[in-house]
């Protein structure tokens, strides 16, 4: 494939060259320019849900001059020469503050949002709080990690407006969910709760429990049976890998090395 010439653009007054299709966020990271993000993860497709990464872009008009647009840096691909990006203009800061106030009103108890808001000198939101217990910003990262990385579709965003939620099909325990916990790992607000009790791992939000497997040597839990089974079906690795915890596996390997010398 032919590579096109790099594009000449300006970001926060810095003139630079960039490969076409690079996102503003990728470029900013490369140059050490900080743009706040909540719903972005490098390994997962972008959706532009939280909007805290909003920046201002001056786009050249064909007849001369520029038109200005507010865009989300995480999913805006740079495609034109002469773009003038501003990540900290007064307009950007004003929009970001309003977005953070809206997020704070939606999830008033979420520490990460509180901290972000504080950085913009916001301690209280002027918007009404619907549910003080709400922790989900509906960014969909959990649904995308499940689909794109794990290869399952255990959860999805359903409903519209105030009714919008992340749920399992029919809000019933999910047959697809293997309790890998990837959803909780990527959730930016800690909205997904996992408990480990009575030999089971339960993802409370999805009302789904899976048996935990024990290490054959030490009896420590090594993860959900369903996850181990799922991996076993996809990779060809020795059985031991799935029956021992990391510590015991390492011990076994060391022992083999000493006794066989290989």
- Are 124 and 112 within 8 A, CB to CB? no
How far is the C-alpha of 101 from the C-alpha of 96, rounded, in Å?
A: 9
Q: Between 103 and 146, whose beta carbon lies closer to ligand FES?
A: 103
Binding site for ligand SF4 (CB under 6 A): 136-142, 166, 187-189, 191-192
Q: Which is nearer to ligand SF4, 184 or 244 (CB)?
A: 184
The least CB distance from residue 107 to ligand SF4, in Å, is 8
> 162-192: b or e for each residue (b if 16 or more CB lie within 10 Å)?
eeeebbbeeeeebebbbbbebbbebbbbebb
- Shortest reach from residue 145's CB to ligand FES, in Å: 15
Which partner in ligand FES, ligand SF4, none is near 137 (CB below 5 to 8 A by kind)? ligand SF4
- Contact of residue 72 among ligand FES, ligand SF4, none (CB under 5-8 Å per partner type): ligand FES
- DSSP one-letter code for 109: T
104 binds, among ligand SF4, ligand FES, none (CB under 5 to 8 A by kind): none
Q: State in angstroms the smallest separation of the CB of 8 from ligand SF4.
A: 36
Residues near ligand FES (CB under 6 A) are 37-40, 48-53, 72, 74
Q: How far is 48 from 70, CA to CA, in rounded Å?
A: 13
Minimum CB distance to ligand SF4, residue 109 (Å): 13
* Cα(83)–Cα(220) distance, integer angstroms: 56
Residue 74 touches which of ligand SF4, ligand FES, none (Cβ within 5-8 Å per kind): ligand FES
Q: Do residues 205 and 193 make contact, with C-beta atoms less than 8 angstroms apart?
A: yes
Smallest CA-to-CA distance from 54 within 9, 94, 92, 103 is with 92
CB 182 within 8 A of CB 202: no
Q: Let me know: does 76 contact 20? Beta carbons within 8 Å.
A: no
Q: Choose from ligand FES, ligand SF4, none: what does 191 bind? Cβ within 5-8 Å by kind.
A: ligand SF4
We find the least distance from the C-beta atom of residue 137 to ligand FES, in angstroms, to be 9
Nearer CB in complex with ligand SF4: 27/137: 137
């Amino acid at each position: 494939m032919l590579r096109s010439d790099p594009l000449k653009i300006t970001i926060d007054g810095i003139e630079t060259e960039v490969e076409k299709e690079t996102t503003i966020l990728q470029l900013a990271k490369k140059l050490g320019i900080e743009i706040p993000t909540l719903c972005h993860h490098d390994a997962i497709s972008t959706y532009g849900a939280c909007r805290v990464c909003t920046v201002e872009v001056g786009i050249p008009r064909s007849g001369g001059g520029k038109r200005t647009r507010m865009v989300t840096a995480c999913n805006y691909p740079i495609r034109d020469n002469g773009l003038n990006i501003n990540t900290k203009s007064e307009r950007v800061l004003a929009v970001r503050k309003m977005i953070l106030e809206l997020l704070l009103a939606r999830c008033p108890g979420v520490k990460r949002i509180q901290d972000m808001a504080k950085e913009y000198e916001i301690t209280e939101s002027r918007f009404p709080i619907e549910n003080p217990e709400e922790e989900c910003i509906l960014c969909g990262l959990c649904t995308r990690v499940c689909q794109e990385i794990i290869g399952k579709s255990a959860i999805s965003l359903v409903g519209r407006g105030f009714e919008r939620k992340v749920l399992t099909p029919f809000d019933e325990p999910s047959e697809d969910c293997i309790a890998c916990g990837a959803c909780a790992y990527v959730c930016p607000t800690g909205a997904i709760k996992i408990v480990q009790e009575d030999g089971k791992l339960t993802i409370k939000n999805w009302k789904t429990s899976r048996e935990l497997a024990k290490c054959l040597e030490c009896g420590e839990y090594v993860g959900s049976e369903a996850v181990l089974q799922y991996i076993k079906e996809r990779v060809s690795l020795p059985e031991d890998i799935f029956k021992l915890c990391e510590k015991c596996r390492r011990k076994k390997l060391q022992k083999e090395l000493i006794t066989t010398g290989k």
